[in-house]
Amino acid sequence: MSQLSRVSTGLAELDQLLGGGLLPGTLTVIAGATGIGKTQLGLHFANAGQQQEGQRGIIFDMTSRGDSQNQDAYAARLFNWQISQQSGTAAVDPPRVWDHDLARRDYLHIFERTGRRVTRNDLEYDDWKAWKLELVKKLQLAIWFFYGNFAHGVRRCVIDGVEPTDKPSESFQFDLFEYIYHQILHKEADWVARDLFREHFRVNAALVAERMYDHRQLSCLLLYTTREILLDDLLQRPLDTGDVLSNANTIILMGKTREGSKMGRSLHVAKHRGSACDDSIVPFEITTSGLHLKLN
């Protein structure tokens, strides 16, 4: 992919709204209430990697409270894609990252629906400390998952299951996302490899050099669940300091709309830094073949 080429969302009509697609190497946030269609949009984006980069994107699921995102069922129905899963309890053996069949996995659910809620206020102090320690242990598995896929040709990722909170700073999900975004996605490949191999990096340095990738070409879609259901409410939602929305290159809002006695679904490109975009509010529908935008 050239530096100036766009990254397809997997939906031609949405690419058109975005002036040709997403900018490579940037963060896109898809924000909307549960059930509005974010996961299906994420799967369209991940699947489009097969044609554009030769590898489908990967899915990193941060759901913790038991509600399945149904990625595997959607992928099988929409794209005949049988998602391969990496266990969230797998022991990390860094040298196995060079084995394509072991490292190239489509999906990792890091917490495997432990039933825990996502904010400091939901837990007693000791429980919060224990949860933070568990999170630290999960980071090495996250590095293994992302680096292993990127080293084998993946260039896009979807991060799903981010739940609404009053303050992003109170959420362990945002702690984890910030680490992934800054310490994996926006970090040179050999330094990510150093974090993975640690004292064994020198032994693996030649293989790291053979599997180098340009982190500036990694594109990320973050699926962010909001409390707001109506698109009008999303359009009026203020951005808090440190809110992930304020740091995204592109923001796409998805919400319910009312027309008379009927409810519908629409989306709006609220932000697309560095590119022209269409300011329309565009209705869409979810069918058995996925999302379909209704452009005029």
**Contact (Cβ atoms closer than 8 angstroms) between residue 75 and residue 59:** no
User: What pLDDT does 171 receive?
Assistant: 73
User: What pLDDT does 266 receive?
Assistant: 97
Q: Please report how the helices 125-151 and 189-197 are oriented relative to each other, as an axis angle in degrees rounded to 10.
A: 120
Residue 230 bridge partners (DSSP):
256
**Given strand 262-272, what is the order of strands in its sheet?**
85-86, 107-109, 58-61, 156-162, 219-225, 27-32, 250-259, 262-272, 281-287, 290-293
**Contact (Cβ atoms closer than 8 angstroms) between residue 27 and residue 247:** yes
10 Å CB burial of residue 216 (0-12, 13-18, 19+) is exposed
Give me 124's structure tokens: 């007693």
Give me 6's structure tokens: 């766009």
Q: Give CA torsion, residues 146, 98, 106, 118, to 10 deg.
A: -40
Q: Mean pLDDT per 10-residue run, the chain (296 residues)?
A: 75 96 95 93 97 96 71 93 90 92 93 61 73 80 96 97 74 83 95 96 97 96 93 84 74 93 94 92 93 90
User: What pLDDT does 19 receive?
Assistant: 94
Q: How far apart are CA 114 and CA 62, in angstroms?
A: 10
Give me 200's structure tokens: 């064994």
**Contact (Cβ atoms closer than 8 angstroms) between residue 81 and residue 30:** no
Name every residue whose Cβ is closer than 8 Å to that of residue 268 and which is 6 or more positions away in sequence: 231, 235, 252, 253, 279, 280, 281, 282
For residue 27, give the nearest of 145, 189, 158 by alpha carbon: 158
10 Å CB burial of residue 268 (0-12, 13-18, 19+) is buried
Give me 80's structure tokens: 């005949």
Q: Where exactly are the structural domains of the chain? A: 12-293
What fold is seen in the domain 12-293?
A: Rossmann fold (3.40.50)
pTM for this structure?
A: 0.91
